[in-house]
Amino acid sequence: MSEARTTLLEVHEVSKCFGGIYALNGASLAVEAGEVHALIGPNGAGKTTLIHVLSGALKPDAGAVVFDGQDLARKPMHSRAALGLARSYQITNIFPRLSVLDNVTIAVQARARDWGTSFRFWKPFSVDAAIVDEAHELLAQVSLVGLARRRAGQLSHGEQRSLEVALALASKPKLLLLDEPMAGMGPEESERMVALIGHLARRVTMLLVEHDMDAVFRLADRISVLVAGTVIATGEPDVIRADPEVRRAYLGDVA
Amino acid sequence: MTQLILEQALNGLQFGLMLFLLAAGLTLVFGIMDMINLAHGSLYMVGAYLAAAATQASGSFIVGIGAAMLGTAVIGVLVEVTLQRRLYARNHLAQVLATFALILIANELVRVVWGAQPVLLNTPDVLSGPVNIGGFFYPSYRLLIIGVGLLVAALLYVLVARTRVGMWVRAGASNREMTEALGINVRLLFTAVFAVGAALCALAGALLGPLLAVQVGMGESILILAFVVIVIGGIGSIRGALVGSLLVGLVDTLGRAALPSLLREFLSSEVASNLGPALASILIYVLMAAILFWRPEGLFPARS
Amino acid sequence: MGFYATSTRRRLVAVAALCALTAMPWLLQALDQSFYVSLASRILIFALAATSLNLVIGFGGMVSFGHAAFFGAGAYSVAILAGSGVVSAALAWPAAMGVAALLALFIGAISLRTRGVYFIMITLAFAQMAFYLVVSLKAWGGDDGLSLMHRSSFGSLDLKDDNTFYFVVLSVLAMVLVALDRLAHSRFGRVIQSIRENETRMEALGYPVFSYKLVCFVIGGALAGLAGALLANQTGLASPNLLHWMQSGTLMVMIVIGGVGSVFGGVVGAVLLLLCEEFFVDISTHWQIGLGLVLLAVVLWAPLGIAGLFGWGRNRE
């Protein structure tokens, strides 16, 4: 890894409390531009809560989130996406009744900075060929080209997971939040997803939340470990693997 | 002046308690099954008609009320088993439409059976006079309604808050899947809730019958108020339904009584007499919109 | 299901229907049944109102139970303007749309903060406010409604003439349908349909969902206001009944019968419902039992509406 990277996302002392229980308790984290940063931790450590705080679905009780130099505190979910912070969902969240192609075109169309506003009421969408072309390219990247006309709800679980990633990619994000992209996948599907993420990693910074340790250690440049709402360690995979505190708190109960 | 306010407050309490009889069943149906039942008001109408018919046939108001509650509960169960069950899994639009259809059918059927003219349901003779409470006279029948309303509210509270069945109902309202997973037959439980809700509708219809006209369309106007109540109170919450009912009953009654004269203090009497009734009649809707604006889930949200 | 798309066949049917409707006054005259022209105008006006609600419910996915408020707002605006001497349709009708749009902006901005049943109920509550407001304001005629002192005037056209009025209504409806068909295929149309399918995902993709829904709600309200303006001209009265919640329910019935989320669903539903009403009322005063049963059947067994049964509605997959 090269030196002097810039910090793209900084999570500073973020806390979130649900009815007296701290899901996040002063969690801090920095994602540098260009890296694949994995976030691991046992169940209930607060990983999903952190993703929600980053995407804007939840408001933190304390702490700050700075993305690309901007404080996100008062930014609603949609403007975070417009700033370049895209997410995928742990539980597949697509448009099941639309075709696979329409799923991706509507995601590509969201990039108002490239195509202009979608408050256009008269001109038919069919003239926006560039949007559709780009959607086809995205489908090629996630190996769904042959299924473009299918209804998204009819895809297999693994294909839906790929579509999920394509939707997040469509915004050409600076940072991609992947929330357990391998969730519920068989070994073959997982292998394909690891390859896809590895391929994407060359172009986009990622914060990867994942349970599959094998995948995490293969993909991540750096790893942060979240335990009981606090990040207890951050470092390169080998350092994390060797960290005694991490082993005790987390890896110990897996091994 | 104090007497007037006291009297209107009692009227508001009486109206609120009757609203609660409707809202209690509606909020549980809503809360457990996530089902919008516009036809709830029709049960109220049917109850009032049955009470009028049974009272006339038997000569006894008590028998009339009992028969109305029983008959309406049976009708409610029939409708639930044959139709409403098919709607639980459907979206809200389908539910609104299907139960809207039920209103049309119920209204026409009542017209077929009883005709288009309002039906007479008299106050029982014993209760026709006023009683003296603390120096002013108040109709004894209205006092009875307040008493019955308080009694039923208390019974419902004990049933829902203190018994095993009540616990299931509350659990069903806050998390239906979990309740089913615990092995409770939510479907049967729900039919029972529906029957009780229907009987309470009939009770309200029978009790209000002598005060308001027993006529086609009586269900719709009160239905909207009952919806306002449960939305204010928080869908699925009995406590919310009680607080909401009393709030709506009092605000509506006192608003109508006091607002026109209150406005006359600030505005010319012509403007006030024009604007007063208009403002009074929309007061509860303003209340509801305001509550939803600040608390989009109502005052006592049942779901976490 | 997918996005709404108008097939060539559907376009042909629409053009054929337009031709038939254009020829109808002469046909009725030939059959000596000219009094039906006024019924036809009424049906087309309700078709416009139902179409406007279909934009909100069928395309935007917002189950509004207060659409009658905008219908009524249009009617009262025209009646009030006529009372103060503004009779030009070129002024009064856009003004009616503007008033309805402002009302929709206000109601929508508050109501769209809520979800699901709460949205249904709060839109209903606002419509009830509007209803009780016009009922209790004596200046606006109270229960009796406000009669239209003068029909709107439209250049040299005589709107008091039934046939002329019919053609004006038909043209307005045709223009609105063309515009909505364009809208359904535009970027905006695709966005609101996607919001209907998955609101959270749209927000996460970077769409300001609230603004899109609000704009859709306001367009729907404005078109309902236009329908109200036309209806006030047809009946010569702005009646509080137009704002009654049963009216909102009836408009919903129309789009469900005709096909939710189809550009022509509102028209199909309004035509079917009002024609049935017209003819069955003569057969039995209790025809509403039949209507209720048909409606139940449609909801239970034909969720895409009558249009869906014949494949005129949304795309079949």
pLDDT (tens digit, 9 = 90+) per residue, B193-248?
Answer: 899 999 999 999 999 988 888 999 898 888 889 989 998 998 888 889 999 999 99
The residue type at B131: V
Beta strands A70-71 and A62-67, pairing class = antiparallel
Q: What average pLDDT does the segment C110-133 reach?
A: 89
Which residue bears the tokens 């509270």? B157
Question: B36 with B99: CB under 8 angstroms?
Answer: yes
Q: What is the pLDDT of residue B130?
A: 83
Residue C138, chain B, CB below 8 Å: the answer is: yes
- Going by pLDDT thresholds of 50, 70 and 90, the confidence category of residue B303 is low
Does B304 score more than 90 pLDDT?
A: no
Q: Could you tell me the pTM of the whole model?
A: 0.90
Q: Residue C26: exposed, middle, or buried by beta-carbon count in 10 A (0-12, 13-18, 19+)? A: exposed
Q: What's the pLDDT at C105?
A: 97
- What value does the mean pLDDT of chain C take? 89
Could you tell me the CA-to-CA distances from B42 to B27, B46, B198, B221, B224 in Å, in that order? 16, 6, 10, 10, 12
pLDDT for the residue A4: 56
What does the alpha-carbon distance between residue A210 and residue A51 come to, in Å, rounded to a whole number? 12
pLDDT reported for residue A108: 94
Q: What share of chain A is helix, strand, coil (3-state, %, to 5)?
A: 40, 25, 35
Q: How many C-beta atoms surround the C-beta of residue A26 within 10 A?
A: 14
- pLDDT tens, position by position, B138-156: 888 999 999 999 999 899 8
Measured between CA atoms, how close is B149 to chain C, in angstroms? 26
Q: Is there a contact between A31 and A8 (Cβ–Cβ < 8 Å)?
A: yes
The CA distance from C17 to A136, in Å, is 38
CB A109 within 8 A of CB A131: yes
Residue-wise pLDDT for C163-216, tens only, equals 999 999 999 999 999 999 999 999 999 999 999 999 999 999 999 999 999 999
For residue B251, is pLDDT > 90? yes
* C138–B296 CB contact, under 8 Å: no
Q: Which residue has the higher pLDDT, A205 or B177?
A: A205
Residue in C113, C116, C288 nearest the CB of B92: C116
* pLDDT confidence band for B108 (50 / 70 / 90): very high
For chain A, residues with pLDDT lower than 70 are 1-4, 250-255
CB contact under 8 A, A124 and C182: yes
Q: Is C110 at the interface with chain B, CB within 8 A?
A: yes
Q: With CB atoms and an 8 Å threshold, state whether C188 touches A119.
A: yes
Only one residue has tokens 């928080």, namely: B234
Q: Among all residues of chain B, which has the CA nearest to that of C136?
A: B278
Asked whether the predicted pLDDT for residue B70 surpasses 90, the reply is yes
* B36 and chain C in contact, CB less than 8 A: yes
* Across C122-136, average pLDDT: 90
pLDDT of residue C314: 46
SS3 C37: helix
Q: Shortest Cα distance from B167 to chain C (angstroms)? A: 24
Cα B295 from Cα B28, distance rounded (Å): 20
Q: From residue B14, give the alpha-carbon distance in Å to each of A185, B246, C187.
A: 61, 9, 54
> Exposed, middle or buried by CB within 10 Å (0-12, 13-18, 19+), for C93?
buried
B282 contacts in chain C (CB < 8 Å): 128-129, 132-133
Question: CB distance C191–A76 less than 8 Å?
Answer: no
Q: Which residue type is seen at B290?
A: A
Chain A interface disruption, residue of C207, C213, C216, most A CBs within 10 A: C207
B225-263 per-residue burial string, b: 16 or more CB within 10 A, e: under 16: bbbbbbbbbbbbbbbbbbbbbbbbbbbbbbbbbebbeeb
Which of the two residues, C156 and A141, has the higher pLDDT score?
Answer: A141
Neighboring chain C residues of B235 at a CB cutoff of 8 Å: 117-118
The rounded mean pLDDT for chain B is: 87
Name the band, by pLDDT with cuts 50, 70 and 90, for residue C2.
confident
pLDDT of residue C309: 61
Exposure string of A165-197, with b = 16+ CB inside 10 Å and e = fewer, is bbbbbbbebbbbbbbbbbbebeeebbebbbebb
pLDDT value of position B109: 93
Å from A2 to nearest chain C CA?
A: 32
- Do A78 and C189 count as a contact with CB atoms less than 8 A apart? no
Summarize pLDDT for C256-311 with one digit per residue, the tens. 888 888 899 999 999 999 998 888 877 777 888 888 888 888 888 877 666 566 55
Residue C135 corresponds to which tokens in the numbers above? 């009922």
- C189 alpha-carbon distance from chain centroid: 18
